[in-house]
Amino acid sequence: MNMWHYSLLACLLLSSCSSNSPTKPTTTIRPFPTAGKTTEPTAKINPVPTAGVEQQLQELWNRLDKGTPPANKLPISWKPAYSVLFPGEWPPSATTTWVRYAYAQGMDMDLRDGVRVAAPWAKLEFRGNSDNVTIVPLSAKLEPVTIQGVQPIDAATQAILAKGDAVSTFSLQLTALPQPKNPQLVEMRTFYRTWLKYNGAFVNLIRSNHSKFLEWLND
């Protein structure tokens, strides 16, 4: 699985560090900044082949201003994280653009059962079965905005989340909403509901961009 695809490993590693007591996601501390408000991002990167996306994202990540911690505080260990696909419209159509967000999760020694979450610093735009991806930088500075509670993930949940690539492939092929009992659609909804359960703090940051899709998932 490519790094920029669905990042399950990071979720599992963070969860394994938590206690056995589930911790609910906290509410958003503040909205993530809009492009240009804090630090002007670089220009949109022209569509690149999927094989080159990982390198482009790594270069963007390396250039991000990650800030300087106070002298009396240990630095937060930031790692890039990548969301599942979100549709630009719902129901889907033949021209729907699907978006995957690049954000960050940070281990903070001051937090016992949670991780810092930074606002999206880029987004990836996918269209149907195209082999090209458009990368849109959103910020040149990493902006911590909220905290995500973590909890252990059992084997059944891991099995659901492991279907991320298959669900992404199915989603990108949608040109209309299938029948509710379509097996692949059922699998898709199960996957998304599970992912949202463990990533609620991040979802709150982008909820207004995909409200109809999120409402459909909860129906």
pLDDT in tens, 121-150: 999 999 987 889 999 999 999 999 999 999
Would 207 be classed as within a structural domain?
yes
Mean pLDDT along residues 207-214: 98
Does residue 17 have a pLDDT over 60? no
Residue 126 has which token pair?
């996918």
Would 159 be classed as within a structural domain?
yes
Would 166 be classed as within a structural domain?
yes
Would 1 be classed as within a structural domain?
no
Is residue 205 packed enough to be buried (19+ CB in 10 Å), middle (13-18) or exposed (0-12)?
A: buried
Does residue 26 have a pLDDT over 50? no
Judge whether 172 and 128 are in contact, CB under 8 Å.
Answer: yes
Q: Structural domain tally of the chain?
A: 1
Would 214 be classed as within a structural domain?
yes
Would 2 be classed as within a structural domain?
no
Q: Which helix (H) or strand (E) holds 179?
A: none
Phi first, then psi: what are they for 3, rounded to 5°? Answer: -55, -40
Mean pLDDT along residues 105-120: 94
Would 3 be classed as within a structural domain?
no
Does residue 37 have a pLDDT over 50? no
What is the rounded CA–CA span in Å between residue 19 and residue 3? 27
Mean pLDDT along residues 151-156: 95
**Residue 40: per-residue pLDDT:** 57
Would 213 be classed as within a structural domain?
yes
Does residue 198 have a pLDDT over 80? yes
**Residue 4: per-residue pLDDT:** 47
Give the residue with greater pLDDT, 83 vs 73: 83
Mean pLDDT, the chain, rounded, equals 84
**CB-CB neighbours of 70 under 10 Å:** 7
Nearest Cα neighbor of 197 from 142, 153, 159, 133 is 153
Question: Range with the lowest mean pLDDT among 45-49, 112-116, 197-201?
Answer: 45-49
Does residue 51 have a pLDDT over 60? yes
Q: Which domain holds residue 156?
A: 8-218
Mean pLDDT along residues 169-177: 96
